[in-house]
Amino acid sequence: MIQPAPTRAVLFDLDGTLVNTAPDLVNALNTVLCDYQHPQVSVSEAAPYISTGAAGMLEYAMGTSELPDRQHMVDSLVTHYHQHIADSSCLFPEMERVLQKLEQSGLNWGIVTNKIERLTHTLLTALNLTHRTACIVCGDTTSYSKPHPAPLLEACRLLGHAPDQCLYIGDARTDIEAARRAMMPSLAAGYGFLHKDDNPHHWGANAVIDNPAQILDWIVNHV
């Protein structure tokens, strides 16, 4: 667990932490499954696999890593998702209030995600969030993606803050590992896209939160 300094900026993972993207991602997945005459999956079943990317979601849904036409299936999923990226996606409940409070308090907030830049910027533009962010670091912004610390360190560079002055919030073990490796305090988003046997209390975050409103409670004690 990283000992935090006073919080000067808050960084969010995107899928499963800041935005509930599961409905649109799983809809894209089911479109591809339908094309291949494969049974569809529910949002609740597939959401925990979103962090594995398009290929990982397909492998889960089809029950095999030997996909019949792997690259074509991945490309089809990404294309459909890009075209319908914000049909149903929205901020998690209470998240808008959290962002407003951060902005009113003069705290910068940004995004560090493994989602590629093309999809990230399309989604944030559709949700009218781009102009509000202090930085956006994507899976292909640096040479590495999480759990490597490089994306978080790049966000620190863009913000002009030391890692221990930032707070990272994510819903996957890889998020918390990236924060630990960057020497950045972190919160595990227990409300996110977790597997049923995930135990975020064992990930090494500074705390586990059950809803976005608890972010504000944590920051109050670290400003």
3-state secondary structure of 109: strand
Starting at the edge strand that comes first in sequence, how are the strands of the sheet with 166-170 ordered?
Answer: 136-137, 108-112, 9-12, 166-170, 186-189, 207-209
Q: Identify the bridge partners of residue 109 per DSSP, sorted by sequence position.
A: 10
In angstroms, the CA 40 to CA 211 distance is 29
Count CB atoms within 10 A of the CB of residue 97.
13
183: left (phi over 0), alpha (psi -120 to 50) or beta: left
Q: What is the chain's Cα-based Rg?
A: 17
Residue with tokens 């914000």: 86
Structure tokens at 77: 């999923």
Bridge partners for 136 per DSSP:
111
- 50: tokens are 């979103």
3 state DSSP class of 198: coil
Report, as residue numbers or ranges, the catalytic residues.
13
Q: Rounded to whole angstroms, how far apart are CA atoms 1 and 3?
A: 7
Among 204, 153, 154, which Cα is nearest to 174's? 204
